Structure 1
């Protein structure tokens, strides 16, 4: 049989399990589960027009694509298409068909510029170039061995600073939203974001099934969240940092280090064995912090862009 591409059916367990399996095989340093895939499809903001695709051959999911519009950017017409094919099922045309289907879908919804993350390997770069994508900024995936590595010793918070968890903000998480929005807006990126929709943040971040409120650490100064590290887990042994940052008024005091170290120690105590994170290659301060923790670079992705016209 030939390869077919179609939308993911979130209500079909075989679809979301196949999607999760391919993503894990192609990108083993990215934490994803079948339940998180279902949640993303059913809770994404409607203006994102999010439509994950699967490539199927002989009834088996062999490729995936994350497809949507960057709805929270002040610049209209920006979309994304991130394609991953099972490494054991390449050269069957799945990647090309996924890209073509995604581009048609996004073009019909007004996209004029498409962004795609490509693993930094010669074959992947060549694939992107053949399809009209030019390379841009890059980012590292990093891994920390929580089971056998040595974390920096826990430090007592300095005077006036208190360590809490996200669970302490369950009654009113808005202060964490405001901190997340401020720090995210300062991250290096090809795309500008206006992170202002609190209800969307509740849906896509606060209530996400991968979020661990108990392992998300927050450094609080005078009752105000000043720095945090957002922790996600797969419900098993894998941990990932969704975001680590400090409010502008509190930077330079080591509060992000303090929060992340607290979170990692508690993750290890809870039985998690691997920690992952990602950093833009130009984000020297955060790369230095993660090196201090013992993270090692395990892969690099290069963002590519294509202008539709």
Structure 2
């Protein structure tokens, strides 16, 4: 037996455990989960529900689902469903999916986006519920504890080039915001959500408790931001490369690899043992950068969509 109910702050550690069991390639933290709901823009209509299951006389969190709108997309929304594999086959995934879709339909969403593991059982589950597959995403892992040693940092950088941490920029990140908008425009994808103004961008990203400015790096060339790489942690030993980008005028100079290499060295020094990242399968340049750094594919997913109504 199981029940579906609203998420509460005290559920956060259990939901992290569920997500880690269902999708070990993703990095989550209890602080981050709480922050997401407390700070989500009202227009996103973000909702999180959990599934409680009876297990050995105790009630445990066995699954969770998030759903919300994608403002600026003309009626698109997103959802994620995670079920602890130990509780598979009980109908929990279907119940969570139904609750998420019901919420989205009530907010006026007409097109739902979600990511689905590229395996026969997961794809079959999605197909039976009316979801159609689209573009492919690759998730990669670098084991900093047992993989071959990281490449050393360069002894010297080209004239006019330096690497800084985001923390060194203080509270004014407007130049990084402008660089991020430019790089986001060129990211492969099928959702166009428009540009965020500075304050909403700052709130969505750098005010998160799990984004680490002291581990995130920026390559400055000739006095302007040329490239950057963001580190997001679970507060323990796992780290996620939240975004890496290079401005158009500086591409082809190896700056993305330089920024990411510095992040890896900083993260290893801070006790991180596993670093994860994800790329659209069509993003050959970034996949090549990650391969040179030692990342290896650990999971493949496909974006699925469904029309509501």
The TM-score normalised by the length of structure 1 is: 0.95
- Encode CA deviations 1:32-88: one digit per residue, 9 max, x unaligned: 0111100111011111001011111223111111210011x3x31100111111011
Q: Corresponding residue for 2:4?
A: 5
Residue 240, structure 1, aligned to residue 240, structure 2: yes
Query: After superposition, where does 1:81-96 map in structure 2 within 5 Å?
Result: 81-96=79-94
Distance 1:252 1:185 in 2: 18
CA contact under 8 A between 1:141 and 1:277: conserved in structure 2? yes
Q: Corresponding residue for 1:208?
A: 208
Distance 1:106 1:240 in 2: 28
Distance 1:253 1:117 in 2: 33
Unaligned runs of 5+ in 1: none
Residue 185 of structure 1 and its aligned partner are, at CA, apart by 2.0
Residue 298 of structure 1 and its aligned partner are, at CA, apart by 0.5
Cα-Cα RMSD:
1.2
Q: Corresponding residue for 1:38?
A: 34
CA contact under 8 A between 1:157 and 1:258: conserved in structure 2? no
Query: After superposition, where does 1:1-309 map in structure 2 within 5 Å?
Result: 2-10=1-9, 13=10, 15-58=11-54, 59-71=59-71, 73=72, 75-149=73-147, 150-155=149-154, 156-309=156-309
- Encode CA deviations 1:137-190: one digit per residue, 9 max, x unaligned: 111110001122222221232111111110011131111112122212211112
Distance 1:147 1:172 in 2: 35
Unaligned runs of 5+ in 2: none
Distance 1:295 1:133 in 2: 30
Residues paired across the two proteins, number = 303
Residue 220 of structure 1 and its aligned partner are, at CA, apart by 0.7
Distance 1:17 1:145 in 2: 24
Distance 1:186 1:213 in 2: 23
Distance 1:237 1:18 in 2: 18
Distance 2:194 2:158 in 1: 33
Distance 1:157 1:147 in 2: 27
Any runs of at least 4 consecutive aligned residues in structure 1 with deviations exceeding 6 A, and if so which?
A: none
CA contact under 8 A between 2:77 and 2:111: conserved in structure 1? yes
CA contact under 8 A between 1:185 and 1:193: conserved in structure 2? no
